[in-house]
């Protein structure tokens, strides 16, 4: 199939399968077959390709191969996974599967987790390039104080990617803005809540919203990315992948 300006776009397996039917069958027979096939195959392929089925059964965010995924929306994961994070420093407020995902892609990950039981469960799973810390969520003041203590103990003054997906999220906004590298990003999961809009609306940061489902979650939500115009992840030099042909 040809795209704009003569660019060749490979056919998917589904397109190849339906192509003979379209060629030899009259439209009044082909169109209902195609519609029925799309209605049934679409959700099934989405569940398989994204790992949604496997995530639902395992009750954790994983790819179709069982590899860790962040619990962000799938559109945001698809956007992020094609960016280059080599040499980048990540800061997470709230950790787990996402920590392992970032550790595979970045130079170093600093993660601060508020749930003590969850912290103890994931602590031994972390690779060498992850510094996992616990900060009490007994109340907001204690949480913010312990988060600042952790950050002062680390060697980094800024971070290329900051993820707000846990702790007292609204209170983490000010900290994230202060520590974000000039060309960095702040990722806010469940961005439709937690006061994210109010917390960022007076800043000069741009925002892109990624709405959709997340691994193993029934209801859709929003993962938002805040950034300056110089952000490395929004460079137009990144090629646009063809997800339908991804193996």
In CATH, which superfamily holds the domain spanning 61-245? Vaccinia Virus protein VP39 (3.40.50.150)
Q: What is the pLDDT along the chain (247 residues), one digit of tens a residue?
A: 444 454 555 555 556 666 676 666 677 776 776 777 778 778 888 888 889 999 999 999 999 999 999 999 999 999 999 999 999 999 999 999 999 999 999 999 999 999 999 999 999 999 999 999 999 999 999 999 999 999 999 999 999 999 999 999 999 999 999 999 999 999 999 999 999 999 999 999 999 999 999 999 999 999 999 999 999 999 888 888 887 666 6
Instruction: Write down the domain spans for the chain.
Output: 13-50, 61-245
3-class SS of residue 211: strand
Q: What angle do CA 52, 103, 118 make, to 5 degrees?
A: 70
pLDDT in tens, 13-27: 556 666 676 666 677
Question: How high is the pLDDT of residue 37?
Answer: 73
Bridge partners of 197, per DSSP, are none
Q: From the CB of residue 154, how many other CB atoms can be counted at a distance below 10 Å? A: 16
Return the pLDDT at 39: 82
At how many degrees (to 10) do helices 27-50 and 13-24 cross? 170
DSSP string, 150-168: HHHHSS-S-EEEEEE-SSS
Backbone angles phi, psi at 3, to 5 degrees: -95, -165
Q: Please give the Cα distance from 175 to 162 (Å, whole number).
A: 10
pTM: 0.86
Roughly what angle, to the nearest 10 degrees, separates helices 169-179 and 140-153?
A: 30
With tokens 């569940």, the residue in question is: 47
CA atoms within 13 A on the CB side of 68: 15
């Amino acid at each position: 199939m040809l795209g704009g300006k003569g660019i060749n776009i490979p056919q998917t397996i589904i397109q190849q399968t339906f192509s003979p039917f379209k060629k030899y069958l009259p439209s009044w027979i082909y169109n209902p077959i195609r519609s029925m096939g799309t209605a049934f195959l679409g959700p099934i392929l989405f569940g398989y390709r994204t790992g949604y089925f496997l995530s639902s059964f395992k009750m954790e965010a994983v790819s179709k191969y069982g590899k860790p995924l962040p619990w962000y929306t799938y559109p945001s994961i698809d956007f992020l996974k094609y960016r280059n994070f080599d040499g980048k420093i990540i800061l997470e407020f709230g950790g787990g599967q996402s920590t392992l995902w970032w550790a595979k892609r970045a130079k170093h990950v600093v993660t601060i987790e508020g749930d003590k039981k969850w912290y103890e469960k994931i602590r031994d799973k972390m690779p060498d390039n992850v510094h996992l810390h616990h900060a009490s969520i007994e109340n907001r003041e204690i949480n913010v104080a312990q988060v600042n203590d952790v950050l002062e103990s680390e060697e980094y003054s800024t971070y290329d990617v900051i993820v707000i997906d846990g702790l007292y999220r609204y209170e983490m906004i000010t900290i994230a803005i202060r520590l974000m590298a000039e060309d960095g990003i702040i990722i806010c999961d469940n961005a439709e809540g937690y006061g994210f809009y109010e917390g960022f609306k007076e800043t000069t940061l741009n925002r892109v919203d990624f709405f959709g489902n997340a691994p193993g979650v029934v209801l859709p939500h929003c993962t938002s990315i805040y950034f300056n115009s110089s952000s490395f992840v929004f460079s137009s030099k990144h090629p646009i992948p063809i997800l339908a042909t991804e193996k």
